[in-house]
Structures are given as C-alpha cells and as structure tokens.
Amino acid sequence: MDYMARALVDIDRMPRGGPNASCVDRLLETDRLEYLDRDDVDEKTKRSVIRALEWTGEAFGNTEKFARIALDEVAEVPDPKILELGAGHGGLSRKLLDWHPTAELTVTDVEPVSVKAIAAGDLGEHPRATVREIDATAIDAPDGSFDLAVFVLSFHHLPPSLAARVLAEGTRVATKLLIIDLPRPPSPLHIVRLATMLPFAPWIPFVHDGVISSLRTYSPSALRALADHASADIELRGGLISPQIAVVRRRQSR
Ligand SMILES: C[S@@+](CC[C@H](N)C(=O)[O-])C[C@H]1O[C@@H](n2cnc3c(N)ncnc32)[C@H](O)[C@@H]1O
C-alpha cells in the first residue's frame, strides 16, 4: 500500500508535458477547471459547451474522422461491442451506429444531466444502443465485455492518477481502448494557439474550456508514462497539430 500511495503521488506530480517537459512547457499548464468539471457553474453554461462540441464535431468533420478511426480498430470484428466513455452528447456513437450495421454501442458519461439528455433523444430508443451513467475511472462492467472502448476529447479532464486508472479500466473491460484528444504542440506553437483563443475565453464558455483543455492536454511522453504506470501498452499516432490518437492494450506478461 505504501508503494501504491507513493506511486500515485509521484504520477500526479508529472507535468502534462511529460516527465522531461521543458521549463516553458511546464508553464503552459493550469490547475483551473473547465466549466464542464465545476459544480458551481450553472447547467445552462455547461449545456452550451456540450452543444458547441457537438456542433463543431459535425461542422469541422471531426465526428466522421473519429468514427472512421474507431471503426478501423474493429474492422476484423464482425459484430463489435463498443463502449463510448465521456460521450457528452452522443454524436460519435450515433455516427458509429449509422455506419456499422451490426455494432452495439454502450453510450456513457459520468454527468447525469448529459446521460439524461442522450437517453431522451434518438439514442435512447435505438435498438443497438444502451445509454448509461459510467465513470471512466471505475467502469461498472465485467472484464472483456467490449471489443473497443473510446474516450474522445475527455482524457485531459483527468489528473494523472485518474487518467492512468482510465487506461487500466478501459483495457480491463475492452480489448482495446482508443483515446483521441487535443494535441499538445511544441511550446512556440502552443503559445500561438493559446493567443488566438484567449481574447474570446472570458465571453464564450466553449473557448474558455478550450483554453483550459489546451493547457491540460497530455503530450506523447506523458501518455507513455501514464500507460507505463497503468501497466498498459500504448501506440501513438498524430498529435503534432492533428488530434492525438492513442490505442491502448492491456500489457501482456512477457
Ligand atoms: C469535452 S467533453 C467531450 C464530449 C464528447 N466526447 C466530444 O468529443 O465532444 C468531456 C466529457 O468527458 C466527461 N467526463 C469527464 N470526466 C469523466 C469521467 N471520469 N468518466 C466519464 N466521463 C467523464 C464529461 O462529462 C464530458 O461529457
């Protein structure tokens, strides 16, 4: 237990830029929470962020892009069982159900209000969808229940020890865990990205959360350290200016 307590504390000290992050990168980090993560923020503001995420996902083609990436991961499975964690609005699950004729989706989020809104829409009545409240850090499902778990634009919400727990839990309940998140670009580029967003942050909740997401997103080396902490194998793609993609599997004993 002593070892576990020490390991948790140590991983939580890791900068979002990874164990060897530069001094500048360490400055481009914050403990401030996004509106979505705060209990003192009204539901109207939070729903506006979720609606904006759904709209931008459709308008800029990310929902389709992410659905393609997810389906590639289960291309060999005839009737895949897919778990979406942190679904927010359910747009990705809806696309997966539209595109795959036999996939079964479990659409989940930790936020009861989001789960209720998803269940009240078309996904709540879809014959191949189940809508549930699930915390990605403590997934209420038996080992090996799913072929794929996906966690999109959500991983950065969690501090390192909880993020590592998602890696362990996701790879316990699913053969593979697909994480797609904002990239953490090299510091000069990161500063430019932040500078374009900051002027709008006080006025537009979606941009406010975007700035904090950018400061909290994990670098490739941080993702590797988290996977190591969770005893998982990780394969990374993209991530310079395109979204960071991580495919995580339970580490096979060698
Ligand atoms: C930025 S939103 C992303 C929503 C959606 N996946 C998308 O791509 O637009 C982050 C989501 O992660 C969810 N979330 C945060 N912590 C979580 C946890 N521990 N387990 C499951 N979902 C979580 C939030 O409730 C929120 O819906």
Mean pLDDT per 10-residue section of the chain, whose length is 254 residues: 47 95 97 96 96 97 98 98 98 98 98 98 98 98 98 98 98 98 96 97 96 98 97 93 95 72
Res 6: pLDDT: 43
Q: Is 109 in the pocket of ligand 1 (CB under 6 A)?
A: yes
Residue 190's domain spans which residues?
2-250
Q: Is 49 in the pocket of ligand 1 (CB under 6 A)?
A: no
- DSSP-based three-state secondary structure for 185: coil
Res 239: pLDDT: 78
Res 112: pLDDT: 97
Q: Is 90 in the pocket of ligand 1 (CB under 6 A)?
A: no
Q: Is 95 in the pocket of ligand 1 (CB under 6 A)?
A: no
Q: Is 226 in the pocket of ligand 1 (CB under 6 A)?
A: no
Atom of ligand 1 nearest to the CA of 137: 19
Domain count, the chain: 1
- DSSP-based three-state secondary structure for 139: coil
What's the half-sphere exposure (Cβ side, CA atoms, 13 Å) at 182?
A: 22
- Residue owning tokens 């576990």: 4
What's the half-sphere exposure (Cβ side, CA atoms, 13 Å) at 34?
A: 28
Q: If you measure from the C-alpha of residue 23 to the centroid of ligand 1, how many angstroms do you get, rounded to a whole number?
A: 29
Q: Which long-range contacts (CB under 8 A, 24 or more apart) does 186-191 make?
A: 187/22, 187/24, 187/25, 187/28, 189/241, 190/25, 190/28, 190/214, 191/28
Q: Is 36 in the pocket of ligand 1 (CB under 6 A)?
A: yes
- DSSP-based three-state secondary structure for 147: strand
Q: What is the CATH number of the domain that holds 214?
A: 3.40.50.150
Closest CA to 213 of 250, 238, 243, 253: 243
Q: If you measure from the C-alpha of residue 162 to the centroid of ligand 1, how many angstroms do you get, rounded to a whole number?
A: 13
Q: If you measure from the C-alpha of residue 3 to the centroid of ligand 1, how many angstroms do you get, rounded to a whole number?
A: 30
Report how far apart, in Å, the C-alpha atoms of 226 and of each of 38, 150, 168, 232 are.
24, 17, 10, 9
Contact partners, residue 47, CB within 8 Å, separation at least 6: 113, 117
Q: If you measure from the C-alpha of residue 152 to the centroid of ligand 1, how many angstroms do you get, rounded to a whole number?
A: 7
Q: Is 73 in the pocket of ligand 1 (CB under 6 A)?
A: no
Q: If you measure from the C-alpha of residue 229 to the centroid of ligand 1, how many angstroms do you get, rounded to a whole number?
A: 22
